[in-house]
Amino acid sequence: MTALATTTPIPPDWRDLFALTKPRVMTLVVFTGLCGLLAAPTSMNPVLAFTAILCIALGAGGAAALNMWYEADLDAKMRRTRDRPLPTGRVSRQTALHFGIGLSAGSVVLMDLAANHLAALILAFSIFFYAVIYTVWLKRRTPQNIVIGGAAGAFPPLIGWVAATGDLAILPTLLFLLIFLWTPPHFWALSLFVRSDYANAGVPMLPVVAGVSATRRQVFLYSLPMAAVAIAPWPLGLTGALYGLTASVLSGVFLALAATVLVNRATDPADMKAEKKLFAFSIVYLFVLFGALVLDRWM
């Protein structure tokens, strides 16, 4: 008699679990959170500071995993996301759900122990905002999804500051507002040259619903208050000339690139060089701006 073969599920590779955390996005999240902590007027025990930044990373990773769990069907329809762990079957939906909940809950509890209640509360709300308000409620329902949902990615510098000080202040609030206003031109620049992906998946992103020209106008319009908020800490006396001049130059370049997007008439994604330049520069913009903030505060 031949014994029946039994199979047991193969545990997912750690690289696939890591991919669930959207590591490229997490890099910017961790960096802005670290800058918020380092720019704070009070020092923090190095071990506790490291733990606080680790919590921001874990929380962001957990929210990203929950996002991928919920959007597995959309990711399977989009060219740029169809190779992610869930659409390819390398990770099960149940594993992604448990992984996301575990990271999220663990990050909040650890932040409460390492820093303070307020930092843990804001971290918990940021996870909820991204995983529920943006992913579940907004993304499939409104072209303003990225405008409102952009708040989720704006919390890290606020969390870093509060972890160090225990209090809110004007400067981290401006940093929150800066990322909030930066998100639409950053993401809409991307969505312009990958709009067919969103159309195929049925996601009502602005270029799909309102058209290319309207999206280009919105990219430019949002860039104006973003630049104003980026420069504002300098005239308000919250930072010195190093940050102020850096913010002025970088924001000027951002506005110039946004203007080239505004006047561009290309409809073929292959010809959207202006949009691709703005998207690439927008990432550099935040990294350099927040780095200049920390250097300025230390000087």
In terms of domains, do 20 and 76 share one? yes
Q: Which residue, among 161, 156, 62, has the nearest Cα to 106 in the 3D structure?
A: 62
pLDDT at 298: 86
Q: Tell me, what CATH number does 49's domain have?
A: 1.10.357.140
- The residue type found at 191 is S
| Residues 156 and 238 grouped into a single domain | no
CB of 59 closer than 8 Å to CB of 126? yes
Whether residue 159 is contained in a domain is answered as yes
Same domain, 131 and 175: no
**Dihedral, 95, 99, 105, 108 alpha carbons, nearest 10:** -160
Q: How many CB atoms neighbour CB 296 within 10 A? A: 21
Residues 42 and 143 in one domain: yes
Distances (CA, A) of 63 to 6, 182, 279, 282, 287: 35, 20, 23, 23, 22
- Virtual torsion, Cα 206, 198, 58, 123, nearest 10 deg: 30
Q: Per residue of the chain (299 residues), what is the pLDDT tens digit? A: 444 444 445 678 889 999 999 999 899 999 999 999 999 999 899 999 999 999 999 999 999 999 999 999 989 998 888 999 999 999 999 999 999 999 999 999 999 999 999 999 999 999 999 999 999 998 888 888 888 888 889 999 999 999 999 999 999 999 999 999 999 999 999 999 888 888 888 888 899 999 999 999 999 999 999 999 999 999 999 999 999 999 999 999 999 999 999 999 988 887 899 999 999 999 999 999 999 999 999 88
Q: Please check whether residues 186 and 196 belong to one and the same domain.
A: yes
Identify whether residues 154 and 254 lie together within a single domain: no
- The answer to whether 19 and 85 have CB atoms below 8 angstroms apart is yes
Whether residues 140 and 173 fall in one domain: no
pLDDT of residue 10: 66
Q: For residue 113, is it within any domain?
A: yes
- 99 and 191 belong to one structural domain: no
Q: What is the pLDDT of residue 9?
A: 56
Q: Is position 178 within any domain?
A: yes
Burial of residue 45 (CB within 10 Å: 0-12, 13-18, 19+) is exposed
Is 1 inside any structural domain? Answer: no
Do both 60 and 184 map to the same domain? no
Domain count of the chain?
2
Residues 149 and 17 in one domain: yes
Residue ending a domain, choose from 167, 189, 211: 167
Q: Where does a domain end: 139, 167, 195?
A: 167
Domain assignment of residue 72, given as a range: 12-167
Name the residue type at position 284.
V
- Does 288 lie in the same domain as 190? yes
Q: What span, in angstroms and rounded, lies between the C-alpha atoms of 122 and 137?
A: 20
Check residue 199 and give its pLDDT.
Answer: 86
